Structure 1
Amino acid sequence: MTTPTPIPLGYPGAQPFATASYPGLAGRVVLNTGAGSGIGRAMAHAFARHGARLMLLDIDQAALEQTCAQLQQAFPGVEVDIVQASIADDEAVERACAATEARFGRIDILLNNAGISMNKPSLELTPAEWRRAIDIDLSGVFYCAQAAGRRMASQGGGVILSTASIWGLSSSANRLAYCAAKAGVVSLTKCLAAEWAQHRIRVNAICPGYTHTALMDDLMARGVINGAELCGKTPMNRLGRPEEMAEAALYLASDAAAFITGHALVSDGGWLAQGY
């Protein structure tokens, strides 16, 4: 059997991608962390397309301003604001949630996107690097969920959607801190879903596979990962699109998923099914 030639970065020959429409998202207030780039930015565009009101959060002020300008150009009249903060700082997270509430009156949807990569042999991983990965990729997700969840409980409900990873459901050499943090996000999602259902708060996660973002470009440029090799190991023979992850987020945040909570939705082109 002939192995198909990998599609390294583009998508020629890929199955058609079509967006869906979720009218109930219009007017919802969305706090979107990590909105300055990658999947977080794609989610900002997707929710703006549906008429949501957006508070964009990122540690990178310039990236935030760029995302905001893109939304204002693409969606005239969009209600959007920005707040610069590190999600690893629980007090900064609380201030960001308070700013969102002050600006829009409530928080209906939290998109817990902000995160970092950490690819390094475990024998070389420093305590500072371990703490940084856990502080941002796990503790920061909890800080945001708790601060937003308190407001959602008092207002009668809401939706929390965290971006985990295929490495939260599997494991890999040289990714100890990242895998541990993302597995924690999946567990956190299930625990909060069970606990907060009584408050009408749905809590889910998406687990992207390898997705073509600026972060991926940087990792490939530094030789940390091999894009063509990753495509060859993916049954669908390509990287994912940020827009495809955003589409999954739209569904899980919408009323169409009203009975779904505690779920980790995988969007990986078949990577986990293949067994890697």
Structure 2
Amino acid sequence: MSNQNTVAQTESAPWARYADLKDKVVVITGGASGIGFSMAQAFAYNGAKLALVDIDANALAKARDTLLGEYPQMAVAVYTCAVNDQAGVQNVFAQVQNSWGRVDVLLNNAGISMNTPTLELSGDDWRRAMDINVNGVFYCAQEAARCMVEQKQGVILNMSSMYGVVAAPQRAAYCASKAAVAMLTKVLANEWGEHGLRVNAIAPGYVRTALVDDLVARGRMDLDALTARTPSRRLGTPEEIAALAIFMASEQAAFMNGHVAVADGGWSAYSYI
């Protein structure tokens, strides 16, 4: 690999630059806020063309305006769609391919949390977690792969979780759904690798997002306890997950396939009581 492919991170842009990501067509689900939007910023910094997919039309419009304010010449399109709507997903990818002729990277980021005592977990909530976190990932990966197999190249990054690798109480639906994403990732990597595709997953731990800040402010989450339990003694940042995403999508990670990359500050490695 050429060492000219990346440049050092700067204070104003906390990401490396990967020359091979320039002009790549990147689809990001859940791209209007949180980790998804940080990934959008990181790929925009690298000169990619972005298709942001989210259920929140207002947040999408704000995200597009923010990106264009930072990178006025960039190409960015937004699509209001729920990832568990298979017909809607098919329509989004058809529009992306019609507009730009290809799909190079899919960031399968959209998902929901589910923190409920298992004896109180309703069938509707169980099915909702599976429908969005698993079915949504599958629908988007399948549509992206239809484009990528024709191109004989492409990268799919699925968002699992450290709770798809280790278990926790009161998270039966969430842990099961994210473990399913991790295994689906490995199956697709095995099946589609011969067509030039790479399929990997990112498994974040606790990340400091606006949602987390809101839960802390409302007393629903104990930030001090989470920090103390994490060996790195802090939560992650959306920018750090985005940095991992652009690396895994770049040619610097060309031989990485079927891998679940855990970024949790050491949480899942910690077993001392």
TM bracket, shorter-chain basis:
over 0.9
TM-score normalized by the length of structure 2: 0.93
Matched with 1:127 is: 123
3-state DSSP class of the match of 1:229?
A: helix
The whole-number CA distance in structure 1 between the counterparts of 2:268 and 2:14 is: 24
The whole-number CA distance in structure 2 between the counterparts of 1:195 and 1:60 is: 33
Matched with 2:61 is: 65
The whole-number CA distance in structure 1 between the counterparts of 2:14 and 2:155 is: 24
3-state DSSP class of the match of 1:128?
A: helix
Matched with 1:43 is: 39
The whole-number CA distance in structure 2 between the counterparts of 1:102 and 1:225 is: 44
Matched with 1:260 is: 256
Aligned length: 260
The whole-number CA distance in structure 2 between the counterparts of 1:26 and 1:148 is: 19
**Are 1:152 and 2:152 counterparts?**
no
Deviations 1:168-219 (A, max 9, x none): 0010100010000000000000000000001101000001110011221233
Matched with 1:12 is: none
Shift of 1:258: 0.5
1:194 corresponds to which of 174, 190, 193: 190
The whole-number CA distance in structure 2 between the counterparts of 1:99 and 1:18 is: 32
2:245 corresponds to which of 230, 246, 249: 249
For residues 161-176 of structure 1, what are the structure 2 equivalents within 5 Å? 161-176=157-172
Matched with 1:28 is: 24
The whole-number CA distance in structure 2 between the counterparts of 1:169 and 1:222 is: 28
Matched with 2:229 is: 233
**Are 1:223 and 2:219 counterparts?**
yes
TM-score normalized by the length of structure 1: 0.92
What 5-or-longer segments of structure 2 have no aligned partner? 1-12
Shift of 1:102: 1.4
AA paired with 1:73? G
**Are 1:136 and 2:132 counterparts?**
yes
2:199 corresponds to which of 196, 199, 203: 203
AA paired with 1:86? A
Shift of 1:22: 0.7
Give percent identity, aligned residues only.
50
The whole-number CA distance in structure 1 between the counterparts of 2:200 and 2:95 is: 24
3-state DSSP class of the match of 2:115?
A: coil
After the TM superposition, which segments of 4 or more aligned residues of structure 1 sit over 4 Å from their partners? none
1:55 corresponds to which of 45, 51, 72: 51
Q: Which moved more, 1:99-108 or 1:37-46?
A: 99-108
Deviations 1:218-238 (A, max 9, x none): 333443321111011111111
Deviations 1:95-115 (A, max 9, x none): 111111112111000000001
Deviations 1:100-134 (A, max 9, x none): 11121110000000011100000111111001100
Q: Give the conservation status (yes or no) of the 8 Å contact 2:17–2:45.
A: no
